[in-house]
Structure 1
Amino acid sequence: MIRPARPRKLAKVPFVELAEGRLQGVVSSGSDIERVYVSSVAAGTYAFACSTNNNRPCGGARGGFCNHIRALVTEAVLQYGAARVARYLKVETADGQQDAPSLTQAMAGTRPPQADGTAAAAVFSRFLRHLAYLELAPTNVPLPEMQWFLPARAVA
């Protein structure tokens, strides 16, 4: 597990990951406490998608990055560091500066296409699985689903 580059608050963006060739995550709605958005940006093409947890398209993601995607990039920079996010997404900023606004501006400046959002269900499912671990009582006993390493004696 890689430690976060800097501590971040989980209220706005409770889940962020660099996976499957995308920066993707879950972003809380600013207006409805029961609504979240699943947002993603593809590496290289910067194709983006943003929709609610019940697959309604984000009203702000029409032709450009919405505030949810901007928040996702900001939190990814806090979690992973700007250099790692830029490398993963294949972003080169004009001034060489690597911070969340510079990365977002460089990607948005290319007029990225809007993606179909087919990954939203998988991302939201992983988020819910992560939430389930928070409901477990603290224990030192290993969790069966987390035991995917081979025991040392079994390795030949």
Structure 2
Amino acid sequence: MARVLPPARPRKLAKVPFVELAEGRLQGVVSSGSDIGRVYVSSVAAGTYEFACSTNNNRPCGGARGAFCNHILALLTESALQYGAERVARYLRVELPDGEPSATAIAAAMSETRPAQGESAAAASVFSRFLRHLAYLEHAPSTAPLPEMQWFPPARVAG
């Protein structure tokens, strides 16, 4: 049975609707600040901090030129809210200076290593998982089981 952890703190889903620590990366979907119909798929690799950011149409992000763009910084901020900054830093293998871990400290520590911009090869799979999550919003409320959700642990009912 998989353990499901509650978010460290509630977060707003409008800017970063999807964030995950998976496949050796922090990755997710970030809304565009200028076009409501555009989203960016952003990722940072654990250990190397190689990063990628592109639109849902595989066009490269104009802000990710040799440094983290605002989409990646937003992804880091929301991941710290979702998972806790300490867990994100541990997953990405970031050595933080003494003090309270934060998304800002994680970004600064990774930036000191001069991370390289990589290919957005994972963008398609990340965006596909995001769309699959969105599809659940279209289901009518029901108590009937969904076969693809059977891996979730059963909800505890107070009794």
Equivalence for 1:37? 40
Equivalence for 2:105? 102
SS of 2:116's equivalent? Answer: coil
Equivalence for 1:18? 21
Equivalence for 2:63? 60
Q: Could you list the runs of 5+ residues in structure 1 that have no partner in the other structure?
A: 150-156
Equivalence for 1:123? 126
Q: Which amino acid aligns with 2:110?
A: M
1:39-81 Cα offsets, whole Å, 9 max, x none, are 0000000000000000000000000000000000000000000
For the aligned residue pairs, the C-alpha RMSD in angstroms reads: 1.1
Equivalence for 1:70? 73
Q: Does 2:131 correspond to 1:134?
A: no
Runs of 4+ in 1 over 6 A off after TM superposition: none
SS of 1:73's equivalent? Answer: helix
Sequence identity of aligned pairs in percent?
77
Q: Structure 1-normalised TM-score?
A: 0.93
Q: Could you list the runs of 5+ residues in structure 2 that have no partner in the other structure?
A: 153-159
